[in-house]
A and B are shown apart, each in its own frame.
Chain A
Amino acid sequence: MLHLLVFSVFGLVCVAGAINLLVQRHPINSALSLVVVMGSLAVEYLLLGAEFVAAVQVIVYAGAIMVLFVFVIMLLNAGVENRTKGSRVAMLFGIPGVLIGSVLVAWVLLQHSGTGSVAAGALPGPPKVIGWLLFHDFLLPFEVTSVLVLIAIMGAVVLASHPADVQQSAQPDGKEG
């Protein structure tokens, strides 16, 4: 009962944050509501017994990635977005389509996958076991992701560096002589 209560409260906070992300017009407000979504998702992970994933969610997602987002928003001085009017046909068919689709998906999920239930702390995912899996069964994917992160770092540096700096560093002694 308490499990269901905690799930409902944080699920509602999560959905409210997601809707607030859509409604807000300033990017910084959207970013802060995304932090709320990620924090409440971490609580949902804890309810599912995934403590390692919950910790990584808070550290990597709510910490590192969102700091990067806020940093870029501040750096580019992003202002209020100006909305463009959608077409009337999209409104006419889109909203009923979304409603029908979501009700259908929710009905199917509630009817056909509601057999099992998840107990609180049913599957504790201790970091020890996760680490063993990561460095034993998933060693090759782990190494591949490390290469991916290295490539991403180099790509980000190349993309974000100023073009004039790149040209100057390519011809260091062009104007000296």
Chain B
Amino acid sequence: MVPLSYYLVLSGILFACGVIGFLIKRNIITIFMSIELMLNGVNLSFVAFAAQWHALSGQVFVFFVMVVAAAESAVGLAIIIAVYRTRGTLNVDQVDLLKL
């Protein structure tokens, strides 16, 4: 028997690691991976609450979050490819203009 709060603390740690990575990393791909880390942390808390309250809708919501994350990563990686093609760099400090 593991208390629910342990799962919540683990999910909070994962979300915090994602936020820190989003702020300190400079490679645009790694920043994108930090966003995925945050989504995973949220998913863990969804499943933990679903198990706590015996509501299977939580697991269905995790499924929807995964689908949206897949769509988001497809579009995001396409944007990264387009940015790299026009700027020639992946460093976000050098990508500071909306228009070329």
Contacts and interface: CB of A to CB of B under 8 A. Distances in A.
- B contacts with A: majority SS: helix
| Of listed B5, B18, B69, B84, residue having the most chain A CB within 10 A | B5
B14 A50 contact: no
A117 B29 CA distance: 38
Contact of B14 (A3, A37, A122, A148): A37
A120 B20 CA distance: 32
B7 A61 contact: no
Contacts of A157: 78
A159 B78 contact: yes
Interface residues of A, number: 79
Candidate in A38, A98, A160 with the most chain B CB atoms within 10 angstroms: A160
B79 to A, nearest CB: 6
25 contacts: A21-B34, A21-B37, A22-B24, A30-B33, A37-B14, A44-B7, A45-B47, A48-B7, A56-B66, A61-B66, A65-B69, A73-B29, A76-B84, A81-B27, A84-B93, A98-B16, A110-B9, A113-B4, A118-B2, A118-B3, A119-B1, A151-B71, A152-B71, A152-B75, A159-B78
Contacts of A69: 29, 32-33, 73, 77
Interface in A2-44: 3-4, 7, 11, 14-15, 18-19, 21-22, 27, 30-31, 34, 37-38, 41, 44
Nearest to A79: B90
Interface of A: 3-4, 7, 11, 14-15, 18-19, 21-22, 27, 30-31, 34, 37-38, 41, 44-45, 47-50, 52-53, 56-57, 60-61, 64-65, 68-69, 72-73, 75-76, 78, 81-84, 86, 98, 102, 105-106, 109-110, 113-114, 116-120, 122-123, 125, 129-130, 133-134, 137-138, 141, 145, 148-149, 151-153, 155-157, 159-160, 162-163
B97 to A, nearest CB: 18
Interface in B49-100: 50-52, 54, 56-57, 59-60, 62-64, 66-75, 77-82, 84-85, 90-91, 93
Q: Interface range on chain B: under 10, 10 to 19, 20 to 34, or 35 or more?
A: 35 or more
A84 B24 CA distance: 9
B25 A155 contact: no
A76 B14 contact: no
A132 B9 CA distance: 31
B14 A14 contact: yes
B12 to A, nearest CB: 6
Contacts of A129: 56
